[in-house]
Amino acid sequence: MRFFGRLEKYVWSELQAPFLLGLAGFTFSIILTKLFDLVGKLFDKKVPISVMLGLLVNELPGIFLLTLPIATVLAVLAGIGRLASQSELTAFRAAGISPLRIFFPVFLFAGLITGSASWVAHDLSPASVPRRKALVAEVQRGRDPAREIEPGTFYMRLPGAVFYARSAAETIQGRIFEGVFLHVESGEINSELIVAARAKIVFD
């Protein structure tokens, strides 16, 4: 038996179309949801389109980790289900073809998708984290939270932190806050409360 004969190519082709359609459909749905979320959060901050697209691109590895397995399940259910519904599996068995040969393309297909998902999880996804942090920092710098903070109110737009200041004054060094409380979440359980007489918001 050849490694990949006409039968294997036929079964493989039955998996390709539903997989590609499922991957495109599921990925597009999640991208659309995240795009609306990004637009809602960043539109009022006048964030450049390039930054928004960069944030969206860096979300793709995490999206593919969700859609690759779902599309694979859809491909197997749709492809093998069609062969079964048209009695083609019965015809293959009647012709003396072993189940191992029939389902070999399915195992190979699943193995390739598993390898691809593993590459995304171990290479692409970690590599996107620093780029995403850099883009978020760029958004924060462009937003200038020091100008957004209103004295006497809690400011909750800082990542993992809540800022409060009793008053603010304009100086040569920039905007200086007085009577400051800063609550920082350092983990799922741990948190830290910082109290200061004066403070200035800077980006490092």
Secondary structure (DSSP) of 93-105: HHTT--HHHHHHH
| Alpha carbon separation from 93 to 15, 79, 87, 108 (Å, rounded) | 19, 17, 10, 20
Q: What is the pLDDT of residue 102?
A: 86
Q: Which of the two residues, 158 and 122, has the higher pLDDT score?
A: 122
Find how far residue 107's CA is from the centre of its chain.
Answer: 27
Rounded to whole angstroms, the Cα distance separating 118 from 84 reads 31
Rounded to whole angstroms, the Cα distance separating 15 from 77 reads 9
Q: What is the pLDDT of residue 142?
A: 60
Mapping DSSP to helix (H, G, I), strand (E, B) and coil, where does residue 177 land? strand
Q: What is the pLDDT of residue 68?
A: 94
Token digits for 47? 């964030």
Residue 186 CB contacts under 8 Å (≥ 6 apart), including other chains: 160, 192
pLDDT at 162 over 50: yes
Q: What is the pLDDT of residues 165-185, one digit of tens each?
A: 888 888 887 788 899 988 888
Q: What is the pLDDT of residue 110?
A: 92
Give the torsion through C-alpha atoms of 156, 158, 163, 169, to 10 deg: -110
Mean pLDDT throughout 7-32?
A: 92
Q: What is the pLDDT of residues 99-143, one digit of tens each?
A: 888 889 999 999 999 999 999 999 988 888 888 777 777 666 666
Find how far residue 45's CA is from the centre of its chain.
Answer: 22
Token digits for 11? 């079964």
Give backbone dihedrals phi and psi of 86, rounded to 5 degrees, phi first.
Answer: -90, 10
Q: What is the pLDDT of residue 111?
A: 93
Mean pLDDT of the chain: 83
pLDDT at 192 over 90: no
Can you count the helices (H) and strands (E) in the chain?
7, 4
pLDDT at 160 over 70: yes
pLDDT at 27 over 90: yes
Q: What is the pLDDT of residue 183?
A: 86
pTM of the model: 0.64
Q: Which of the two residues, 147 and 93, has the higher pLDDT score?
A: 93
When pLDDT is cut at 50, 70 and 90, the band that residue 1 belongs to is very low
- Are the CB atoms for 165 and 148 separated by under 8 Å? no
Residue 113 CB contacts under 8 Å (≥ 6 apart), including other chains: 19, 68, 69, 72
Q: What is the pLDDT of residues 30-83, one digit of tens each?
A: 998 888 777 766 665 566 777 778 888 888 999 999 999 999 999 999 999 988
